Amino acid sequence: MSTSAAGERSNPADKAYRWVDDRLAISRGGRHLLNKIFPDHWSFMLGEIALYSFIVLLLTGIFLTLYFVPSETTVIYHGAYKPIDGQRISEAYASTLNLSFAVRAGLLMRQMHHWAANIFVGSIVVHLLRVFFTGGFRKPREINWIIGANLLILAIFNGFLGYSLPDDLVSGTGIRIAFSILESVPFVGSQLAFLLFGGNFPGTAIIPRFFIIHVLILPLVILGLLGAHLGMLIRHKHTQFRQAHAREDNVVGTPLWPTFAMKTGGFFFLTTAVTVLLGALVQINPIWQYGQYYPYKVSYAVQPDWYMGFLDGALRVMPAWELHLPGHMIPNVFFPAILLPGITFTLLMLYPFIEAKLTGDVAEHHLLDRPRDRPVRTAFGVATFAFYFVLFGASATDVLANYLSLTLNFVLWAFRIMAIVVPFIVFAVTYKLCKELQQTPSAGKRQQFNLILRSADGGYTTVPAEQYPGYDQPELAPVDVEKVELTADAAQQDGDEGVYEIPRRYR
Amino acid sequence: MTGALRRLVAPLSLVAAAAGLGVLAFAPGHAGATAGVATGATATASPPAALPGSLLAANATRTHSSSNLQLGQTLFQESCSSCHGTDAQGSALAPNLRGLGAATVDLWVSSGWMPLANPAAQPVVKPDRFTRAQTVAIADWVGSLAGGMAIPHPNLAGASVSEGMSVFALNCAPCHTITGAGDALSNGITAPSLHSETATMINEAVRTGPGNMPRFGPGTLSQKQVLDVVAYVRRYIQHPTSGGNDLGGIGPVAEGFIGLFVGVGLCVLAAFWIGDRTPRDLDEHAHGSDVPHGPGTTEHA
Amino acid sequence: MPDLPPHNGQVPRLNDEGRVPLDAPQFQIAAHNPRRVEVAVAAFFLLSLAGFAGFGAAYWQGASNLWLGMTLGVGFAGFGLAMASWGKWLMPRGPFEEPRAPMATTEAEKELFIADFASRGKVAIARRHALAKLMGLAGGVLGVVVAFPLIRSLGPLPGNTQYRTKWRKGSFLTTIDGRRVTVNDLEVGGVLTVFPPDDLGGAISQTLLLHVQASGNVVTMQGRETWGPNGYVAFSKVCTHAGCPVGLYEELTQQLLCPCHQSLFDIYTGAMPVFGPAPRPLPQLALYIDKSGHIRAQHGYTEPVGPGFWSRGAAPFARYRGK
């Protein structure tokens, strides 16, 4: 040891490290960081997709800001794209055209940025679903759950702002709807809309304001919350599934250095590769076809990006109601565009507390549930997700009607009915499925055992085996067993003790 | 290295250049390929890359003699008169065609909408049953009965795609979408895709307003503006643009599905490959004797 | 540190004092045949090398989006595959264990913190109530006044702009090019977007002029007998649902369709919504034809155009009618 250590000391890198360490003492915490254990299950990597696509967003976004001009000043375009040649367009739109056609690799960067945004929000949702269905939000992780929910909201908002920046026909229509939605905010809606837009629609300053929110304010907030999100991950240590050696009081897996670092580094590049290849092969938001936005021009088949789809779908399926009160009116768009997302995200953030209240389970949990073991939560989650998925589908009523050769009226009514009926059906089916899965033999990949006790008079009772004394770890009540057929082998081994240990996997 | 790359890039740029040439020259061969109906056999026979070729070809069909009118009348009597009446005066089944003009008849026949089962419903496109010359003959004969708009012969030589796009966005995009993909209107009516319409059909449709479509007369759009729109649709709407597969030009819905199911899907697959699929060391250790199954079990025993 | 059940040596802790020996089974690699994995990793790195170099060359040549993206994408994919394979098969496979203490602090620790904070705070602040109140007051005023430059300067307040458009008595219906529309301009079944002359392209004033029949007044509603002369009729183009331009005129059914959320308005009943989420009819602009044949507005809109807003209420709209 001494010889090798002496050899290392003369190494310049080693020397440099010692110099820094004498001043910052990184060895103390550093070793803990190197040895931080990450469980290996693939589903724990879903949040990393969001992290890495966010990095892609930052890098491509920096590139785009170098060429994008956030200005509504009118210029006459004389550039590479002939159909717009000589048209009066805004500088924002002109600069987006230029960075798409005149800047080398500009179109690739723009398409990567847009695809990465779609993947960013999508992976946040997938990550959220994993955390929800495995109960990863329970004590002590409620705060981190709320931060995650806020990250989702901010990602959606920032996506919408970015989508609006090029000042093209499709996004301009989206901004028009956003103005109407702002106007429907209770009591202060009109004032809010006028202040944000700098006057009545289309306002005077929307592109520069959206720009600074999109590239500075929201990214800073997202970065801050992301730091807190990851900081808490380190503080709480990772959750893990029930498996051999995994307990409430430990984490089992591979260390950060080198295995996890190498794997996750590779994952970063693979995520990046997906956005690059999509940017190369699949066109996204061809703004040159859309043309400059003018408030009196419109295209059919305009939709927001997918993460706003549930809002657009809700706007479409909402019945034509509007409440008139003395001196006030509740506009139609208030219900689908303010009330619905308000309830959605409030419930999302409060869910850990609601569940704790309902189940009375206030213990700390570091071992995750399997979804089937919590059939009510799972069914509720799947049903809620199905509701939003139906609304997402409803944002394409016209396109679906066109491609399926159905009438618009039929498709809209189908979605109105589905939005109400599907969640209930999905709840029932999921609940039943969970219950069935609990009974299947393959459900046995777990180390929580039930004990089947035979009493002196020959009857059987089932009790959960106490796993680690001192740790509150609520498990499902075992299914009562009337009669257990023991294999000859098991009976021979344990027969004379009168107690049979039968893991669920063998039932 | 650069030389090798240039050799790699060369075929691609050739293809791109050819495509660009096709766009600019509005090559007749291309028109035949995309439209199917185009301006008939004469167009494809004309020498390639000759810009006015298609226009000359169109002009060739224009000169209708009395023998052509005779042919048109005969074909009309054979195929159309059972609904529209022997003199195109209409019947209980179908409307009067007199005064509608040759352009209207040409559009409805050459688009494949005729024969139409229900005038109020979305026309179903059927395979061509007439040659181009026959269609023109029918249309000209109906036009000769009581006047109306003649079959137009759009000359796109001086048309401005820039002006055309502007007109398109204001007047056409509300129904046909800004990419020309078409979309469903109310009550089962559809604004059709513009991706395979010929220049003549677009000109006719704008002026005559078939079915549910509004009519854009000279007071709304000048002849120059119509030609501009036709040029924009033919040269840009009907050709793929930069950036890869356009997913049918139906906008963010298709993009969202690709983003979610291909983008996020591939990333999840990568995670699935990198990470562990099952609680890992369970199978290999669970049967081993040295791993405790949990302390509770033995204590109970 | 809580009591931990004794681990059996199968799952070593890296953070324990002293190192876990590198020859422990957990430091073995996952690959059964490391040589093959090494070849695969090398191949992936070579692929990524080719991809990155290709990207450089493609950039140098100003190649198309496809070439740029494919080369860069292949480069990233090869790099990622190589790194992930290396980590997955050629690095310590574990498992290792890290202990975890319960998150919550003990009751004693909580008590100590609270006691320190409260007792010192009492000495410092509570004995000087007046100062604390002044501090709160000054801070509160700052909080209020800071909101003015931050928020109030952003834009004007609505005032009555939501209630009125630029349409006035006698306004010429004008196209976006500034051309005055005459009675002969539209074919039957024609449609045109028009503006008041002083608000060309205006988002709120935009109006859809339709020629729905060859002649005669178009009567859409009782009290609007003279609003649609010579088969012409005009409606606000701003949807009453979410404000999109209602630009889709379906001639066969004489209906207007909104492209955003598919609200359908029936022209002959005064643009009454018959389908979709729009709650109110599109406001109609009263027209007349002057002696020279120009189509003009009888007066402004008689109700606010566009989507609803909270203060719209049931106020009498007549007083906002244009002069």
Along chain A (507 residues), what's the average pLDDT of each consecutive run of 10 residues?
53 91 89 88 95 97 96 92 92 95 94 97 97 94 97 97 94 94 91 90 89 97 97 93 81 89 96 97 93 91 91 94 83 94 96 92 87 91 96 93 90 95 97 84 51 76 57 43 44 43 35
Q: Which pLDDT score is estimated for A479?
A: 44
The pLDDT score that the predictor gives to residue C230 is 93
- The answer to whether B295 contacts C5, with C-beta atoms less than 8 Å apart, is yes
Euclidean distance between CA atoms A395 and A376, whole angstroms: 29
Chain B: list its partners (3+ Cβ pairs within 8 Å).
Answer: A, C
Question: Across residues B59-68, what is the average pLDDT?
Answer: 56
What's the pLDDT score for residue C42?
Answer: 97
pLDDT digits (tens, 9 = 90+) for B1-29: 344 444 444 444 434 444 443 333 333 33
pLDDT digits (tens, 9 = 90+) for C229-274: 999 999 999 999 999 999 889 888 899 999 999 999 999 999 999 9
Residues C198 and C299 placed together within one structural domain of the fold: yes
Among residues of chain B, what percentage have pLDDT more than 90? Answer: 24
Among the partner residues B170, B214, B270, nearest to C249 by beta-carbon distance: B214
DSSP, residue by residue, C270-308: TSEEEESS--SPPPEEPEEE-TTSBEEESSS-SS--SS-
Q: Are residue C73 and residue C136 in the same domain, yes or no?
A: no
B282 CB neighbours in chain A (<8 A) are: 243-244, 445, 447
Residue C314's pLDDT band (boundaries 50, 70, 90)? low
Query: What's the structural domain count of chain C?
Result: 3
Would you say residue C163 lies in a domain? no
Dist CA B227 CA B218 (whole Å): 12
Query: Is B15 within 8 Å of chain A by CB?
Result: no
Q: Are A74 and A292 in contact (CB under 8 A)?
A: no
C17 inside domain: no
Residue the block writes with tokens 């023109």? B136
Please give the domain boundaries of chain B with CATH numbers for all domains: 2-146 (1.10.760.10), 161-248 (1.10.760.10)
Residue C172 falls within a domain, yes or no? no
Q: Report how far apart, in Å, the C-alpha atoms of A483 and of each of A461, A465, A480, A507 are.
A: 9, 19, 9, 11
Contact assignment for A298 to B173 by CB distance below 8 Å: yes
Residue C142 domain-assigned?
A: yes
- Which pLDDT score, from 0 to 100, does residue C187 have? 87
The CATH number for C280's domain is 2.102.10.10
What's the confidence (pLDDT) of residue B44?
33
Last residue of a domain, one of C129, C153, C177: C153
CB B247 within 8 A of CB B205: no
Distance CA A82, CA A288 (A): 10
Both C134 and C209 in one domain: the answer is: no
Tally of CB atoms within 10 A around C245: 26
C136 and C242 together in one domain? no
Distance from C-alpha of A337 to C-alpha of A334, rounded to nearest angstrom: 5
- Residues of B with CB below 8 A from C97's CB? none
Residue A466, pLDDT score: 57
> C66: nearest CA in chain A?
A280
Structural domains of chain A sorted by starting position, each given as residue range(s) with its CATH number in brackets: 1-34 (no CATH), 45-294+338-365 (1.20.810.10), 450-503 (no CATH)
Q: Looking at the complex, report in whole angstroms how far the Cα of residue A438 sits from the nearest Cα belonging to chain C.
A: 28
For residue C63, the enclosing domain spans 25-89
Helix, strand, coil share of chain B (percent; to 5): 55, 0, 40
* Segments of A234-384 assigned E as strands: 250-255, 323-325, 328-330
Mean pLDDT score across all residues of chain B: 73
Q: Which residues of B touch C191 (CB under 8 A)?
A: 214, 220
The pLDDT, as a whole number, for residue A501 is 40
pTM, to two decimals = 0.85
Q: Scanning every residue of chain C, which has its alpha carbon at the shortest distance from the alpha carbon of B294?
A: C5
A134 DSSP assignment: T
Mean predicted confidence (pLDDT) in C271-300: 93
Between A51 and C106, the higher pLDDT residue = A51
What is the predicted pLDDT for the residue at A7? 53
Distance (Å) from the C-alpha of residue B213 to the closest C-alpha of chain C? 6
Name the helix (H) or strand (E) containing C318: none
**Average pLDDT over every residue of C193-205:** 93
In a domain, C204, yes or no: yes
CB–CB of C186 and B219 under 8 A? yes
Report chain A residues whose CB lies below 8 A from the CB of B271.
42-43, 45-46, 48-49, 267
Residues C233 and C299 in one domain: yes
Interface of C with B in 180-199 (CB under 8 A): 182, 184-193
Paired sense of beta strands C207-211 and C232-236, if any: antiparallel
pLDDT digits (tens, 9 = 90+) for C112-130: 998 888 888 777 776 778 8
A-contacting residues of B 115-174, CB under 8 Å? 160-162, 164-166, 169-170, 173-174
| CB-closest option in C87, C242, C261 to A259 | C87
Q: Based on the domain organization, do C126 and C39 belong to the same domain?
A: no
Q: Would you call C65 and A279 a contact, using CB atoms and an 8 Å cutoff?
A: yes
Question: Closest approach of chain B CAs to the CA of A47, in angstroms?
Answer: 10
Select the highest-mean-pLDDT range: A111-115, C61-65, C103-107.
Answer: A111-115
Pick the residue from chain A with its C-alpha nearest to B189.
A407
